[in-house]
Chain A
Amino acid sequence: MALLSRVADRLYWGARYVERAEDTARIVRSYSNMIVDLPIDLLPYSWEPLVAIAGSESLFGEKHGEHAVIEFLVADRDNPGSMASSVACARENLRTTREVLPREAWRALNGLQQYVLAEAERAVERRTRDRFLARVIGDSRRLDGELESTMTRAAPYRMWRLGQLIERADMTTRVLGVRAASILQMKSTDRVDDHDEVQWMGVLRSVSALQMYQRATRGPIEGASVVRFLLFYSQFPRSVRGCLDAMRVVLTNLPQPDAVISVLDQTTATVMACEAHAHDGARLDDAMDEVQHAISELDQAIAQRFLAVGT
């Protein structure tokens, strides 16, 4: 089954945008969930770290406060990384690939886009936020399920998977870089330590990893092991290593993947080199920057090999 390079490009980006919207929903949801469990006076907790995870501090500017942050991450169409912008971009990309997508998948995406654009304001108020976010995650899962269960395993499906996996890996490193690093960097006081577990649970929840982490470790929740789990535990599909390994399988089934696979080898090596920093907040943050840089090189290798139109 032939796949046009232009269509490959749109599938890859469509998948990235959908994944970005879903992951943002998970992060906002777990953060909202966690923050109600923390005492009001516990500083430096506030909503701004969420903006840092999305990597959009410069755009966010001088605004602050819960409503402004949520509005910015969920509904703001001027923020290209917001959920509303992401699903709109996903739809724009996939509108031009409908001939290769199962019809029901397109329908699911359309439903997701209409819901987000019409109801994004519901995320701003706490009492309606959780339902809104849960629905977005559910709709995105439905889209994924349609593809998983009805799309032929050929190049179009694989390009979709590549986009989804690279975005997922990237989002997990962002959670680690900002959330985990900031917890590790907090000055240890009794007040903070009391709530350590709550915060690490929040980190795990933002990638829906809490239950799987507990089953894998069987011990108390502890910072360094959470970091290791999210980076290296390849059996967990949202761990960085898990995403990279899955990409390797996808790549070997695409034509002439060698150049991309050798970049993937380097990315994997960069991730594995983070082992030493699992305890140290500042170094973890730097290490995650390096991993993100490696992921963006992987992205460029994919673009060069598969997506370049006109070569």
Chain B
Amino acid sequence: MDELIDRDGKPRPVAAALMSMLDRLGPEELTELQRVAEIEILTMGITFTVYSDGANLDRTWPFDLIPRVISGDEWSLVERGLIQRLVALNHFIDDVYNERRVIADGVFPLELLTGSANYRAQCRGVHPKFGVWAHISGTDLVRDDDGEMYVLEDNLRVPSGVSYVLENRAVAKRVFAEVFQQQNIRPVDAYTDELNKLLSSLAPDGVAEPQIVVLTPGVFNSAYFEHSFLAQRMGAELVEGADLVVGDDECVYMRTIGGLERVHVIYRRIDDLYLDPEAFRPDSTLGVPGLMRAWKAGNVGIANAPGAGVADDKVVYSWVPDLIRYYLDEEPLIPNVPTYRCMYDDERRFVCQNIGDLVVKPANESGGYGILIGNRATATELADAIDAIEADPRNWVAQPILSLSTVPTIIDGAIEPRHVDLRPFILTGARSYVTAGGLTRVALPKGSLVVNSSQGGGSKDTWILDLPADGGP
């Protein structure tokens, strides 16, 4: 299905004003506007980095001018569903590092926990503020042919993309100024302020004006643009591991031209394993020795908390509906995509027999790596996938192939449908916040379902549109 156009080729109500404007413009003018937007992106230096052939390439951010539009009513439901999901996931993380009620009660298997690549034994017994571990998450949503929105995956480690939500909007507002004036499109700009408030709330008790830093692996990281963007928008320092030091007092300091200055909250964009060579990989030069000690002593807040990724596992994912019921005693508001877990013999057998009709995913990869789409794979690829599953069943899941909805997209001067997904960003602390919409990613090659920007995906602005009560424009 298409997000903007119904089966009869008519614009859906939320897209009526947009589609009539696109008609008025015509493909030629639209292509010209697209070019203006691209120049804008180039001069604003909006980039992302791709690793290719061992080199790091700073590429201009791919943006398609035609937005995805979602009605405010539908979004309100999605918003509640996302908050529900993240509250439950945070209960789960706090539980597995502390009491483990969920295991004692037989809801979640212990062996799955201890065998998880993202479980960090070093975090046992830690009580972060508010019981929250995954403060910032990016949850991928897709819409299937039945019109239903599904959660495809939870990204609880260092999800990226939110800077592009804000930048895409800035560009779209400039190009489509009148449309914004005539319609109630929910603004997205408040995100960085909300993030700032959330991070401030994680400071050790009694600190009135916390020093917040964004910890980046450095300029060669694919999301460096975003790390810099968020630091700019929050007035925070952007630091690398070598800028920080943990003192004898187990407090974190940054090296400034005026000497060492105390740091209260770290928004880290480095993976757990590289955060602290004392606690994790001893060969890591990206992190800060002693950081885990400082965190456990309550001298610094870290978002997301180390170990939060334990719930960001495609096998754990399949338990989330159960976890929502267990912790909140509620029914999930947004369904999961049905998921077959290869660790169970019967489900594995089903996967291996029907592999041509399934998407097979490794449990702990991100960025779309390692995914095999059954009906597009060669016989050899399918056989290799079965071997990989049999060798390490815990680390594989499979799902039916969703069709993913489409949005009209400018392709070589014409408008054609292309498949999209949506990544809203959810902030969880003392209270919750969801971006109005999120990052719409679009698979640019015809028929492709791979939306990752590292693999040829583009992006769109996402409009949450509140229609007047009478339904008119």
Contact = CB atoms under 8 A, between A and B. Distances in A.
Interface of A: 2-8, 95-96, 98-99, 103, 106-107, 110-111, 114, 155, 159, 254-256, 305-306, 309-311
B256 A5 contact: yes
A310 B242 contact: yes
B42 A4 contact: no
B257 A3 contact: yes
B258 A107 contact: no
Q: Of residues B45, B237, B259, which shows the largest number of chain A Cβ atoms within 10 Å of its Cβ? A: B45
Contacts of B255: 4-6, 309-311
Contacts of A111: 43
A95 B211 CA distance: 22
Given A99-B228, A103-B232, A254-B257, A6 B43 contact: no
A98 B43 contact: no
Given A107-B44, A110-B45, A99 B238 contact: yes
A111 to B, nearest CB: 6
Given A4-B256, A8-B257, A110 B232 contact: no
A2 B256 contact: yes
B243 interface: yes
B239 A4 contact: yes
A106 B228 CA distance: 12
Interface in B105-126: none
Contacts of B261: 2
A7 to B, nearest CB: 8
A111 B42 CA distance: 9
A96 B228 CA distance: 7
A2 B211 contact: yes
B219 A2 contact: no
B254 interface: yes
B231 interface: yes
Of B229, B238, B240, chain A has the most CB atoms within 10 Å of the CB of: B238
B236 interface: yes
Given A99-B238, A310-B242, A2 B258 contact: yes
Contact of A99 (B43, B219, B231): B231
B231 A107 contact: no
B254 A4 contact: yes
A107 to B, nearest CB: 6
Contacts, number: 70
Interface of A is mostly: helix
Those 4 A-B pairs whose CB atoms lie nearest each other, nearest first: A99-B231, A255-B258, A99-B232, A2-B256
B232 A96 contact: no
A106 B45 contact: yes
Best-surrounded residue of A4, A159, A310 (most CB of chain B within 10 A): A4
A12 B352 CA distance: 60
A309 B45 contact: no
A4 B219 contact: no
Contacts of B228: 95-96, 98-99
B170 to A, nearest CB: 11
B236 A110 contact: no
A6 B243 contact: yes
Contact of A110 (B44, B237, B242, B259): B44
A255 B45 contact: no
Given A4-B256, A96-B228, A255-B257, A309 B44 contact: no
Contact of B237 (A4, A255, A306): A4
A309 B242 CA distance: 8
A7 B256 CA distance: 9
Contacts of A5: 243, 255-257
Nearest to B213: A4
B237 A99 contact: yes
Given A3-B257, A4-B237, A99-B228, 9 more contacts: A2-B237, A2-B254, A4-B239, A6-B242, A6-B243, A95-B219, A95-B228, A96-B228, A306-B257
24 contacts: A2-B237, A2-B261, A3-B258, A4-B239, A4-B243, A4-B254, A4-B257, A6-B243, A6-B255, A7-B238, A8-B257, A95-B45, A95-B228, A96-B219, A99-B228, A99-B237, A107-B44, A114-B42, A114-B43, A155-B257, A255-B258, A256-B258, A309-B242, A309-B243
Interface string B211-232: 1000000010000000011011
Interface in B253-284: 254-259, 261
B48 to A, nearest CB: 13
Interface centre among A5, A155, A255, A305 (most CB of B within 10 A): A5
B435 to A, nearest CB: 21
A305 B257 CA distance: 8
A255 B254 CA distance: 16
A83 B257 CA distance: 30
Contacts of A7: 237-238
A260 to B, nearest CB: 11
Nearest to A158: B257
Contacts of B240: 6
Contacts of B231: 99
A296 B408 CA distance: 59
Contact of B43 (A3, A95, A110): A110
Contacts of A306: 257
B195 to A, nearest CB: 14
Contacts of B44: 107, 110
A95 to B, nearest CB: 7
A311 B256 CA distance: 10
Contact of A107 (B45, B219, B236, B242): B45
A275 B129 CA distance: 68
A110 B44 CA distance: 7
Of B211, B239, B254, B255, chain A has the most CB atoms within 10 Å of the CB of: B255
A198 to B, nearest CB: 40
A87 B231 CA distance: 24
A255 B231 CA distance: 24
Contacts of A3: 256-258
A4 B260 CA distance: 9
A70 B240 CA distance: 39
B263 to A, nearest CB: 10
Contacts of A110: 42-45
Contacts of A95: 45, 219, 228
